[in-house]
């Protein structure tokens, strides 16, 4: 008689896989990809090192899954912020996205650095491209609407959106690495980072009165 996986076993396997992912997310938040060794993940998940390979064929595959999971959260968060009914203008929505993104990043700097800039396996690098596209599309929709309504000056919404994604990411990398890493001083994540980024964004969009209170 052939062996058939019972629901109980399947449930246990699923739980174990979840535990692996949870362990990986925890390590990623605390020590970035540098701390995500297979041994460390396994230990935190309470299983043997070799058992991780029952769920992921390689470290790269696990790394990609962790990346996608975290990025999924971030995209959902900024999308939610953009769609709040309190925001009446396109600029408001774009700013909400930037603020949400930056605030969340600065609140979890190690994780944000891991997602944005930490040198990683090429497989994860490839995922970064798709995640940036996702953010770009969020921006592009908002900007296009603003241009159509006449609120924003005519512009290539796609290009402006890409530029804002790059600007936000790059502007955060400095403040992100400053406090945690032992870099040369002068990169402190001053409390002015988010407002400064917002001002940059509004100006870049071509909002008439960019220097708002």
Partner DNA sequence: GTCTATACGTCGATAGAC
Partner DNA sequence: GTCTATCGACGTATAGAC
Contacts with its own copies, residue ranges (CB under 8 A): 117, 119-123, 125-126, 129, 132, 136, 153, 155-156, 158-160, 162-171, 173-174, 192-193, 196-197, 199-200, 203-206, 210-211
Cβ contact 92:206 at 8 Å: no
Rounded to 5, what percent of the chain is helix, strand, coil? Answer: 70, 0, 30
200's contact among its own copies, DNA, none, with CB below 5 to 8 A by partner kind, is its own copies
77's contact among DNA, its own copies, none, with CB below 5 to 8 A by partner kind, is none
> How far apart, in Å, are the Cα atoms of 171 and each of 52, 98, 100, 156, 165?
36, 11, 14, 22, 10
Tokens of 122: 């090429």
Give the shortest CB-75-to-its own copies separation in angstroms: 16
- Nearer CB in complex with DNA: 18/49: 49
Binding mask 27-46 for DNA (x = CB under 7 A): ---------xxxx------x
Residue count of the chain, please give it. 213
Q: Dihedrals φ, ψ of 15, to 5°?
A: -65, -40
Is 119 an interacting residue with respect to DNA (CB under 7 A)? Answer: no
Give the shortest CB-119-to-DNA separation in angstroms: 11
- Nearer CB in complex with its own copies: 19/117: 117
Binding mask 45-84 for DNA (x = CB under 7 A): -xxxxxx-xx---xxx------------------------
Of the candidates 68, 66, 72, the residue with the CA atom closest to the CA atom of residue 33: 66
CA-based end-to-end distance of the chain: 75
């Amino acid at each position: 008689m052939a062996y058939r996986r019972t629901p109980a076993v399947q449930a246990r396997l699923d739980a174990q896989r979840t535990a692996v992912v949870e362990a990986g997310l925890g390590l990623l938040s605390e020590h970035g990809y540098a701390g995500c060794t297979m041994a460390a993940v396994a230990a935190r998940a309470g299983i043997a090192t070799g058992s991780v390979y029952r769920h992921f064929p390689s470290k790269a595959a696990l790394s990609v899954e962790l990346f996608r999971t975290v990025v999924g959260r971030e995209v959902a968060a900024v999308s939610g912020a953009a769609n709040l009914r309190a925001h009446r203008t396109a600029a408001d929505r774009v700013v909400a996205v930037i603020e949400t993104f930056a605030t969340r990043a600065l609140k979890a700097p190690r994780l944000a650095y891991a997602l944005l800039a930490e040198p990683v396996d090429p497989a994860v690098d490839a995922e970064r491209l798709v995640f940036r596209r996702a953010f770009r599309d969020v921006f592009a929709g908002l900007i296009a609407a603003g241009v159509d309504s006449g609120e924003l000056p005519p512009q290539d919404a796609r290009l402006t959106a890409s530029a804002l994604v790059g600007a936000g990411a790059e502007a955060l990398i400095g403040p992100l690495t400053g406090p945690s890493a032992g870099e040369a001083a002068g990169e402190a994540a001053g409390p002015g980072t988010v407002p400064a980024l917002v001002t940059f964004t509004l100006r870049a969009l071509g909002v008439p009165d960019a220097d708002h209170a």
